[in-house]
A = this chain, B = another copy of it.
C-alpha cells in the first residue's frame, strides 16, 4: 500500500495538486484585478472579492450582489448574449422600469426579474469546502453546493433564494398595466433588500471564517 495523505492522495499527487491550486488561484486573482480596473465587476462585490483573493486557501471565480433587470430572453426563455436590456444592482424606481418597458428599441421577450446573490468560490481541499458548506448552512442559506472537484481544485456555488421573474412585453406589445408595474417595483425592491441583508451576513461570516 502506498503512503497517503489525509486527502487519500500520495505525497507526489498532493504536491502536484498544491501546485495546480496555486496556479489557478493566481490566474483568478489576475482576472479579478482586470475586472476591477475595467469596471467589469459588480462594485458591491469588490471588497469581499478582494478579501477572498488575499486569503491563502480561497478565491472567487464569479460574483454578483443580486440584481433587478429587464431581460430580453430568447424563445426558450433562457439568458443569451446581450440579454440585459436594463440592469441595476440596487433598488429601482417605477419611472426607470416603465421607461425601459416602453423603450421601442426592444421588441423581444422582455422579463422583469429580480435575482439573488451569486458567489462562486474555489478552494483546494474538501475539508475547506466542508467548512464553507457548514458556515453558510448555519446562516440559514440553503442554495449552496460543490459543483465540481478534482485534486487541488474544489468549486463551491452559493446562491440567494429571493427572486421574481415576470413577463412584461412580447414583441412590441406591453403586457402589463402601469399600476401593476408599480406593484412589481415595490415587491422587487423588497426582495432586493432582503437579499442585501443576506449578502451582508454572508460577507461578514466569510471574512471571519476564511481568514
Mark A residues whose CB is within 8 Å of B.
Answer: 1, 3-8, 76-78, 126, 130, 133, 137, 144-149, 156-157, 161-167, 170, 175-177, 180, 183-184, 187, 190-191, 194
Contacts and interface: CB of A to CB of B under 8 A. Distances in A.
Contacts of A167: 164, 166, 183-184, 187
A72 to B, nearest CB: 15
A157 B145 contact: yes
Contact of A146 (B146, B165, B170): B146
A86 B40 CA distance: 43
Contact of A4 (B8, B148, B162, B194): B8
Contacts of A156: 145
Contacts of A164: 165-167
A161 B76 CA distance: 11
A1 B3 CA distance: 7
Given A145-B145, A167-B184, A6 B8 contact: yes
A121 B87 CA distance: 36
Contacts of A166: 164-167
B157 A76 contact: no
16 contacts: A4-B8, A6-B8, A77-B191, A77-B194, A78-B161, A126-B149, A130-B149, A133-B149, A145-B145, A145-B157, A163-B165, A164-B165, A165-B166, A166-B166, A166-B167, A167-B187
A110 to B, nearest CB: 12
Contacts of A7: 8
A194 B162 contact: no
A184 B168 CA distance: 10
A183 B175 contact: yes
Contacts of A3: 1
A190 B74 CA distance: 13
Contacts of A130: 149
A176 B190 CA distance: 20
Which of A3, A126, A147 has the largest number of chain B CB atoms within 10 A?
A: A147
